[in-house]
């Protein structure tokens, strides 16, 4: 376990009770529905996560006589700035709880700050954008990893929750012309897309596409908590408080550092996987940074680039589910096969997203890419109902979080949206289960099926 020095003077508490969006009350996320896979919808009107939810971080903790599931996730209200073109549903961070990882209890506003035994049922928003103007996360924030690690400097001597997240400020950043989700690519000049915030982007004239956007310059952050609900930001050495900066001009990660996810491999061996848009390659790639303590990080460069031409596929072919690279990822250990597994958001040539798989023996290099995606968007664009509504995830699926279960089975949590090939907030969070007896890729199942039951069961 990692032992580090918690610098209390550098902590900033983030749960301001005076800024509660609405009256806090627990709401079960189990309204009746027939949509496959969907287990967690957008929040109710007026709630902090009414405009979109995503980036699930799901953990299962075992007690003496029960299991307890916790999910940290990103969400935003309609009033919050939108950065759906690059970080769907990023805004604030909340917590939900469950007894089975399927039916969840959530909150409409800030957590109430309960103490004692009742604190375990306290749900709602736990972190929001920073109010200090000079910080890196004043515009939006997106949780991407939460872990429990020991810390001898904490009075209780018990494990401490570490939250890694990405955040952006209000500095306008030029949008690369080759970015697939750029308004230049997804909409004609003068077209107004409701998925974009009018006050967050800037146009030269009604006939020209958006050229700059606020919040695009994302950097990685760290927060700590003793209960998983009341968090304190850690001000790192970068002048914005971020753990480290984006790359210099011309480097692969100069645009942003997205969805940092950390794997504590051993003593003084912490590995952070993150993604960015490489303007020279013209696709998303995943990089690595290492640290001995979780505070000081050293970049190691790109470790995974799933460009289809490197595996013998023809660029632009229907099989090239990740022709434009790999975005947010979740790396975990496959204990049964003694290897490391990467679930990643695969970006196709038309900017639709699916979930891909790659495997490495040492978790550092030589990632072997599975040639087919584990999960794609819903095959049918219209639900089998008289309403004719689009399926909630018929456009794209991504932001994966995998949980290893018993007997080689896996749960795959993911975010989905109905918009196809263009920016849009996530409609909800879904669950897919590995199919027993399905084909294997280096020991891992390659077929996942959406949980096919109503939310009310």
Mean pLDDT of 149-165: 69
3-state helix, strand, coil in the chain (%, to 5): 5, 40, 55
| DSSP assignment of 396-451 | EEEEEEEEE-GGG-EEEEEEEES--SS-----EEEEEEEPTT--EETTEE--EEE-
Q: Is the pLDDT of residue 447 over 60?
A: yes
CA-CA distance, 137 to 260, in Å (whole number)? 14
Predicted local confidence at residue 452, as pLDDT: 78
Q: Is the pLDDT of residue 175 over 80?
A: yes
CA-CA distance, 302 to 310, in Å (whole number)? 15
3-class DSSP assignment, residue 264: strand
- Is the Cβ–Cβ distance between 144 and 166 less than 8 Å? yes
Mean pLDDT of 293-301: 96
CA-CA distance, 282 to 177, in Å (whole number)? 10
Higher-scoring residue by pLDDT: 270, 114: 270
Predicted local confidence at residue 16, as pLDDT: 41
pLDDT band at 17 (very low <50, low <70, confident <90, very high): very low
Predicted local confidence at residue 356, as pLDDT: 97
Q: Is the pLDDT of residue 140 over 80?
A: yes
Q: What is the mean pLDDT of the chain?
A: 83
Q: Is the dihedral of CA 197, 200, 201, 205 positive or negative?
A: positive
Higher-scoring residue by pLDDT: 454, 376: 376
CB atoms under 10 Å from CB of 190, counted, come to 11
pLDDT band at 424 (very low <50, low <70, confident <90, very high): confident
- pLDDT tens by residue, 201-237: 443 344 454 579 999 999 999 999 999 999 999 999 9
pLDDT band at 388 (very low <50, low <70, confident <90, very high): low
pLDDT band at 379 (very low <50, low <70, confident <90, very high): low
Residue 253 has which token pair? Answer: 């990660």
High-pLDDT (> 90) share of the chain, %: 63
Mean pLDDT of 64-81: 91
- Is the Cβ–Cβ distance between 182 and 193 less than 8 Å? no
pLDDT band at 7 (very low <50, low <70, confident <90, very high): very low
**Which range (5-14, 366-375, 391-400, 415-424) has the least confidence?**
5-14
Structural domains in the chain, CATH included, are 40-113+121-178+212-310+319-450 (2.115.10.20)
């Amino acid at each position: 376990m990692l032992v580090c020095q918690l610098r209390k003077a550098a902590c900033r508490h983030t749960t301001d009770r005076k800024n509660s969006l609405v009256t806090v009350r627990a709401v079960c996320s189990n309204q009746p529905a027939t949509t496959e896979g969907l287990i967690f919808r957008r929040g109710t009107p007026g709630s902090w996560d009414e405009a979109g939810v995503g980036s699930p971080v799901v953990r299962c903790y075992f007690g003496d006589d029960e299991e307890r599931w916790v999910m940290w996730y990103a969400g935003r209200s309609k009033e919050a700035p939108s950065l759906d073109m690059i970080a769907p549903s990023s805004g604030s961070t909340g917590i939900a709880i469950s007894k089975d990882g399927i039916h969840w209890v959530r909150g409409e506003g800030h957590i109430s700050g309960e103490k004692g035994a009742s604190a375990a049922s306290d749900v709602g928003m736990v972190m929001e954008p920073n109010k200090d103007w000079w910080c890196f996360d004043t515009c939006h924030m997106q949780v991407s990893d939460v872990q429990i690690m020991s810390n001898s400097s904490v009075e209780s001597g018990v494990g401490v929750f570490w939250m890694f997240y990405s955040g952006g400020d209000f500095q306008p950043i030029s949008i690369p012309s080759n970015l697939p989700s750029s308004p230049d690519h997804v909409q004609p000049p003068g077209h107004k897309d409701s998925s974009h915030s009018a006050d967050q982007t800037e146009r030269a004239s009604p006939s020209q596409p958006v050229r700059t956007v606020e919040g695009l310059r994302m950097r990685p952050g760290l927060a700590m908590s003793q209960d998983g609900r009341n968090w304190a930001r850690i001000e790192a050495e970068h002048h914005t408080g971020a753990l480290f900066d984006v790359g210099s001009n011309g480097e692969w990660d100069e645009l942003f550092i997205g969805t940092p996810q950390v794997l504590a491999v051993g003593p003084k061996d912490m590995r952070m996987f993150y993604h960015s848009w490489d303007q020279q390659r013209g696709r998303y790639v995943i990089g690595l940074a290492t640290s001995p303590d979780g505070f000081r990080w050293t970049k190691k460069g790109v470790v995974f680039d799933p460009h289809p031409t490197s595996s013998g596929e023809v660029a632009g072919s229907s099989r090239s589910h990740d022709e434009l690279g790999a975005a947010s990822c979740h790396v975990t250990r496959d204990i049964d096969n003694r290897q490391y597994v990467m679930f990643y958001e695969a970006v196709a040539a038309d900017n639709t997203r699916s979930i891909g798989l790659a495997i490495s023996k040492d978790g550092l290099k030589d990632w072997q890419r599975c040639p087919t995606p584990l999960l794609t968007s819903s095959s049918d664009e219209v639900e089998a109902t008289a309403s004719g509504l689009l399926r909630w995830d018929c456009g794209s699926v991504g932001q994966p979080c995998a949980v290893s279960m018993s007997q080689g089975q896996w749960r795959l949590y993911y975010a989905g949206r109905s918009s196809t090939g263009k920016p849009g907030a996530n409609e909800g969070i879904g669950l897919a289960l590995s199919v027993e007896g399905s084909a294997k890729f280096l020991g891992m199942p390659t077929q996942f099926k959406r949980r096919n039951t109503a939310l009310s069961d």
